[in-house]
Structure 1
């Protein structure tokens, strides 16, 4: 009973709602007392992680979840999700959705064979209202939103993405079009939905991010877009690794690689890098090193063009090298790889640079390099002052919690700047 209570508490902490349940509470639940409604999904997630499979409300003896339905529709559900994400009064409740670490994603081939017959009527459309121009509009807007994410942060970019999904893309998905145009529109919509999920993940709204990712998978499946399906699974692997679910991260990363056997070298590098990180998380150092070598080889063969959404470059590869070194307890090598990653990072990638400097600063602090850590935190604050990002907030909270082992002019200067930035953010 104590372990069960601890497991529920851990899920609550991850969800942003710390709990203090003890064995007496579990005894009450087992005796037939219904937990609070807000606690029930946390209990289901704790059970699912233990059993390694989803657990339903019915199995647990709980009343059905409010608002559940049996026949989901990809476009309708996406519109509903986007509308709630656009509404400031609803967004807080929406972002409180629970991340599921026991979610199982079917193989792409199984999904396409199952969906083929039921989607055919909807995919074959008469000549109509939209053409490739509208598809190109969605792709260009996705690129522009990705640029805003890098320059200003997800706090500004995600509401724009949600509004564009609801007000424009949803109409395109329902418009008459040739089969090819409609499939291309589904693929473009999947890219945008994936990016929106990525931003939600970066804003620490992990349940919401996972929901967007699942919609992106549905759209990619309907358009028979193996590459976007694969890339979305890779994003889900990154999310799982960030939340320290190593085996789930590896499962998603391997599924992503299996879904894209004909991927180009840049995407192959993208996938192998994530497989390397996840392999290191589960203790497979040899497998991680092998995957890193494969990622490096593939990246060497890639052309100079980098996708706006989900692109992979030398900086991203070196970041993966750093993760593998860190997971295998080569802390000094991890720090060097991170420094190399930052050196080759584009100056336009402020979001990525902010995150990289914060991670570097924390690892330098862990290694006992106090002055170097302060300098890296200073670079982090340069970007944090102008970006709207919940991940930046998370790093800033971590910075404020640190107790530096000695006071020096460098430490004093950093502490003074922390106060200034906190006042700026509170204004």
Structure 2
């Protein structure tokens, strides 16, 4: 699955871009309104798309995809569509394709967060096509990995493994942090399929790569020790080590940067579920309460799923005062539909 222009641009340079969900009608309006149409772009427009993608990503981390995705979609249809149609020198054209691909990947990721999985897959496929056209290995591999994350979260372990392997194969010269990023997902997918040997091999590979990456630098906003510990937790859980999974998830929570509010809600709720699985009701309630502290500020379908699961898991324990207090608190915070 090597990114290549071949096959991507057969019907014209930007034909793939014009099939993005919601774009064709916008393109038509742009063609009808010739006055004021941007006819040529430079690197300043590319820089603006990159900066906007970074800002939307920050909002997604803090507030969830339900808030941020409409902003990204609007930006694509109202601004990036015109940029992709404009004339540009070849280096600028390539850079704009790459920037648009990254924005599409992010929009697909946010659609996953909303539970809009079919839409997410369409965004992901177009992100792959534009990344191939731009010869952008980083976004190509990141998108394949994102598709693997979606598959593993939906319980499709075999497909998740195929996508994770494809992402790794398409990035043979990845640096240590990227290698950890890819190997961690391979480990998670392998564990879901029950392949203990591969899961342990990939998680050791991720740990080794992370050690190398951390010795060089620890850039904010990339795959970091918190993310690695999350994957270690998922591998342990997938292989039947619930106690070890709890320990690693707790370590992930301790290491997580504060701005990642959406992840904090989801992962703390997952941690609570596993604590309860061990029979630690009081500890689980304490962790769920921490998740609820942030939950009202997050608009996320995946966070909603974890709160819905919490209600179901707590219901048999409502005679316990701690569980009952948590249940009642959650009913005052969460949408009533989640309580069942």
Q: How does 1:299-314 map to 2 (within 5 A)?
A: 299-302=210-213, 303-304=216-217, 306=219, 308=221, 311-314=222-225
Q: How does 1:218-229 map to 2 (within 5 A)?
A: 218-229=129-140
Number of the residue aligned with 1:80: 22
Q: Which runs of 5+ in 2 are unaligned?
A: 1-10, 27-38
Q: Which runs of 5+ in 1 are unaligned?
A: 1-69, 85-127
Number of the residue aligned with 2:33: none
Q: How does 1:9-408 map to 2 (within 5 A)?
A: 73-78=15-20, 80=22, 129-302=40-213, 303-304=216-217, 306=219, 308=221, 311-402=222-313, 403-405=315-317, 407-408=319-320
For residues 289-308 of structure 1, what are the alpha-carbon distances to aligned partners after superposition, in whole Å with 9 as ceiling and x for unaligned? 11111111111222435475
Higher alpha-carbon deviation: 72-81 or 395-404: 72-81
CA RMSD of aligned residues (A): 2.2
Q: Secondary structure at the match of 1:385?
A: helix
Answer whether contact 1:238 1:274 (CA < 8 A) is retained. Answer: yes
What is the CA distance between 1:381 and its match in structure 2? 1.0
Larger RCO of the pair (alpha carbons < 8 Å, separation 6+): 2
What is the CA distance between 1:199 and its match in structure 2? 0.5
Distance 2:321 2:23 in 1: 49
Change in CA separation of 1:206 and 1:79 when aligned onto 2, cut-off 3 Å: closer
Q: Does structure 1 residue 418 correspond to structure 2 residue 330?
A: yes
Change in CA separation of 1:83 and 1:366 when aligned onto 2, cut-off 3 Å: farther
Answer whether contact 1:145 1:160 (CA < 8 A) is retained. Answer: yes
Answer whether contact 1:138 1:188 (CA < 8 A) is retained. Answer: yes
Distance 1:249 1:227 in 2: 19
Higher alpha-carbon deviation: 323-332 or 149-158: 149-158
Distance 1:322 1:268 in 2: 18
Answer whether contact 1:154 1:202 (CA < 8 A) is retained. Answer: yes
What is the CA distance between 1:82 and its match in structure 2? 9.0
Number of the residue aligned with 1:49: none
What is the CA distance between 1:366 and its match in structure 2? 1.3
Higher alpha-carbon deviation: 409-418 or 234-243: 409-418
Aligned length: 312
Number of the residue aligned with 2:32: none
For residues 120-167 of structure 1, what are the alpha-carbon distances to aligned partners after superposition, in whole Å with 9 as ceiling and x for unaligned? xxxxxxxx7212111111111111001101111111100000011111
TM-score (norm 1): 0.70
What is the CA distance between 1:405 and its match in structure 2? 3.9
Larger CA Rg, structure 1 vs 2: 1
Distance 2:172 2:120 in 1: 26
Answer whether contact 1:197 1:212 (CA < 8 A) is retained. Answer: yes
Distance 1:360 1:335 in 2: 6
Answer whether contact 1:404 1:411 (CA < 8 A) is retained. Answer: no
Answer whether contact 2:218 2:224 (CA < 8 A) is retained. Answer: no
